[in-house]
Amino acid sequence: LSDDLSLLAMVTRGLNGSLHTDLCSGQRLVQIQEGPLYRVKGYPIAISCNVTGFKGPAKQDFQFIVKKPNVDINMISSSVLLWIKHLLEEDAGDLLCETPNTDAVYFGNYTAETKLNGKIFIYLDLSEGDPLQLEYQVSSQTFQHTHLSVTWFLHGEEDENPRPIITLDKDLTVKPGAGFEDHYRVGLISMDKVEDTTYRLKMPQVQQSDQGKFYCKAIEWIQDPDRSWTQIAYKTTTASCINVFSVILSVTWSCLEMFEDEGRSQSLPMMAILASTS
């Protein structure tokens, strides 16, 4: 974290946005962005911390503590923004913001905590025709005998809601989602179970229409004495963001051009092939 972190030196007495709790009059209050915060790895992020209701100097120091198993990382600054230039998956954890006491007495809240979620988005760029394979591990800890159904979803830019791509149902039958029947029929989408806990979506040749956020949802079912099935639990993954770029192949031919140059016949074959990704 230390190699990719910089702190922006600025101080403010108020921030707009979604922050914890309400301020009581005359009472110090430290606020940090409400979590869990989901961010894309590989990109810069900023997390705001703010203090209000304090007395003493206008400039307040902030201490950011990233809580991880077996280690805490401390950063001290006069900034209200914690900047991470290049987010890594291992940067996930609980983030604590503290301010020192500059008041005559302790009165109020001097710390605030949020969570930078460990399930950070996967961001992947593909070209048309590239293969895509996504896996989701899911298992049940229920003592009773239950079945699982697993569905992959695609949420495209023009989709109001995520669309089911394909489902492995609780009876182990595979069903394509509405609008994906032809893709399933010709083998452009498939789903299988690998060992006991891994469910794999395979798309051997992605198209631009496949661009968007991919989710996977697992539902746990139990069969009641009347033999009907009841949903008892479910879990949804965070998104895998997939960009699909078109590959344009342009081929220009020119026939052999014959012309006379001082009585000599010459031929100039011309062929240009351009493959570009846009």
- 106 lies in the same domain as 132: no
- 127 lies in the same domain as 233: yes
- 27 lies in the same domain as 68: yes
pLDDT tens, residue by residue, 72-93:
454 545 456 777 777 777 777 7
Q: Is 193's pLDDT higher than 80?
A: yes
- 54 lies in the same domain as 109: yes
- 105 lies in the same domain as 143: no
More confident residue, 198 or 59: 198
Q: Is 137's pLDDT higher than 50?
A: yes
Task: Provide the number of structural domains found in the chain.
Answer: 3
How far apart CA 74 and CA 15 sit, in angstroms, is 23
Final residue before a domain boundary, out of 116, 143, 174:
116
Q: What pLDDT score was predicted for residue 216?
A: 92
- 95 lies in the same domain as 134: no
Q: Which of 29-38, 107-116, 211-220, 234-243 has the lowest mean pLDDT?
A: 107-116
Give the dihedral sign, CA 162/168/169/175.
positive
DSSP 8-state secondary structure symbol assigned to residue 22: -
- 252 lies in the same domain as 241: no
pLDDT tens, residue by residue, 32-66:
877 777 766 666 777 877 777 666 666 666 677 77
267: amino acid identity, one letter: S
The chain-wide mean pLDDT, for the chain, equals 71
The model's confidence at residue 105, banded by pLDDT at 50, 70 and 90, is: low
| DSSP letter for each residue of 157-188 | TT-SS-EEEEEE-TTS-EEEPTT-HHHHHTTS
Cβ pair 152, 214 in contact under 8 A: yes
Q: What pLDDT score was predicted for residue 164?
A: 96
pTM: 0.51
Q: CA dihedral defined by 239, 169, 176, 179, rounded to 10 degrees?
A: -70
How far apart CA 22 and CA 223 sit, in angstroms, is 46
The model's confidence at residue 253, banded by pLDDT at 50, 70 and 90, is: very low
Q: What pLDDT score was predicted for residue 205?
A: 94
Final residue before a domain boundary, out of 93, 116, 139:
116
CATH number, domain at 26?
Answer: 2.60.40.10
Instruction: For residue 183, give the nearest of 162, 207, 161 by alpha carbon.
Output: 207
Q: Is 249's pLDDT higher than 80?
A: no
Q: Which of 100-109, 111-120, 155-164 has the lowest mean pLDDT?
A: 100-109
Cβ pair 10, 79 in contact under 8 A: yes
The model's confidence at residue 174, banded by pLDDT at 50, 70 and 90, is: very high
- 132 lies in the same domain as 18: no
- Would you call 48 helix, strand, or coil by DSSP? strand
Q: Is 118's pLDDT higher than 80?
A: no
- 127 lies in the same domain as 229: yes
Q: Which of 223-237, 240-254, 257-271 has the lowest mean pLDDT?
A: 257-271
| Residue positions counted in the chain | 278
- 221 lies in the same domain as 181: yes
**253 lies in which domain range?**
248-277
Most confident option among 83-97, 179-193, 244-258: 179-193
- 191 lies in the same domain as 216: yes
**Neighbour count for residue 164 (Cβ, 10 Å):** 17
- 169 lies in the same domain as 230: yes
Q: What pLDDT score was predicted for residue 225?
A: 85
More confident residue, 77 or 142: 142
